[in-house]
Amino acid sequence: MSYSIMVVDDSSIIRAAIKKTIDMTEIPVDRLVVAENGLDALEKLKETWVDIIFCDIHMPKMDGIELIETLRKTVEFKNIPFVVVSTVGSETQINELKEKGISGFIRKPFKPEDINAVMGEIFGEWEK
Amino acid sequence: MNKFDIISDTVIGMLEESAFIFSDPVDEITVTKDMKSKMLGYCIKYTSPKSGTIAVFADKEVATMIAANMTGLEEDDPMAEEEAGNALQEFTNIIAGHIITELHGTELVFDLGIPEAITGGLPNDDNLIQIEIDVEDYKLILEFIEP
């Protein structure tokens, strides 16, 4: 199976870094969709289905928290796995995010093993 | 470990983890305010429950290395130099989050601001901690104030 992945971050550096890290995992990627913020992500989701979203929290226009709250209320998007990629280190904040329905959390800076681990947890056995 | 060592180790660790850059701290600060004014710099403030400011200054060459290594570009790719500022801004964001966690643990919730461009250095303060890092022939400076 190959995956359609969305990366949402207002930083062009982080979008590129996530792409580079995903490339290092050898996860089969059918399509990589990038968005600069939550609003941009919602617009692109209307046009393109994705299997998983990697998303920052702090973004202009619509942040990651508002995005996941919106997705979880939307019938067609509510089950898309949503992984937060953030500098947040507080267990309290991470637990709050889990209560909002995130599927995983990766702390910046991230490594290929982090992507592999979260993909494995979400999609079942991921061998690499 | 004291605050200086914790912050120093965190900076060096994050340079390695986020940008694959190996570096060494220097024993005495050699970079002047005038030299810092020629470097790229970003500062980020945090509040609640403690407040503080973290600033990162880097020679453009260091910021370019960070950009190249984070994104997979070659260092001599013009895009890497174009993205140097963005990369340093993002690095400041990452390092701030980790410094706060290393100093204060993972239970407290901090409100971390957005890194903003800065020149010249943080104001002199009794609580100012300065760390100078050698990255090949270039410099990266981290300044930290938490009153």
- Summarised one tens digit per residue, pLDDT across range B1-54 is 899 999 999 999 999 999 999 999 998 999 998 999 999 999 999 998 899 999
How far apart, in whole angstroms, are the C-alpha atoms of residue A11 and residue A14? 5
Q: Do A11 and B98 touch (CB under 8 A)?
A: no
What is the mean pLDDT of the segment spanning B113-125?
91
From B90's Cα to the closest Cα of chain A, the distance in A is 7
What is the mean pLDDT of the segment spanning A18-34?
93
3-state secondary structure of A6: strand
ipTM comes to: 0.87
What is the mean pLDDT of the segment spanning B89-118?
94
Could you give the angle at the alpha carbon of B139 between the alpha carbons of B111 and B63, nearest 5°? 60
How far apart, in whole angstroms, are the C-alpha atoms of residue B120 and residue A56? 30
From B7's Cα to the closest Cα of chain A, the distance in A is 16
Angstrom distances, CA of residue B89 to CA of A14, A120, B66, B114:
11, 31, 10, 9
| A89: pLDDT strictly greater than 60 | yes
- Percent of chain B residues past pLDDT 90, beyond the cut: 84
Q: How is residue A23 written in tokens?
A: 């490339």
Instruction: Count CB neighbours of A46 within 10 A.
Output: 8
Residue with the two structure tokens 């790229």: B40
Strands B52-58 and B111-112: unpaired
Give the per-residue pLDDT at B115: 94
How far apart, in whole angstroms, are the C-alpha atoms of residue B66 and residue B21? 8
pLDDT band of A125, cuts 50, 70, 90: low
Q: Which residues of A touch B56 (CB under 8 A)?
A: none
pLDDT band of B77, cuts 50, 70, 90: very high
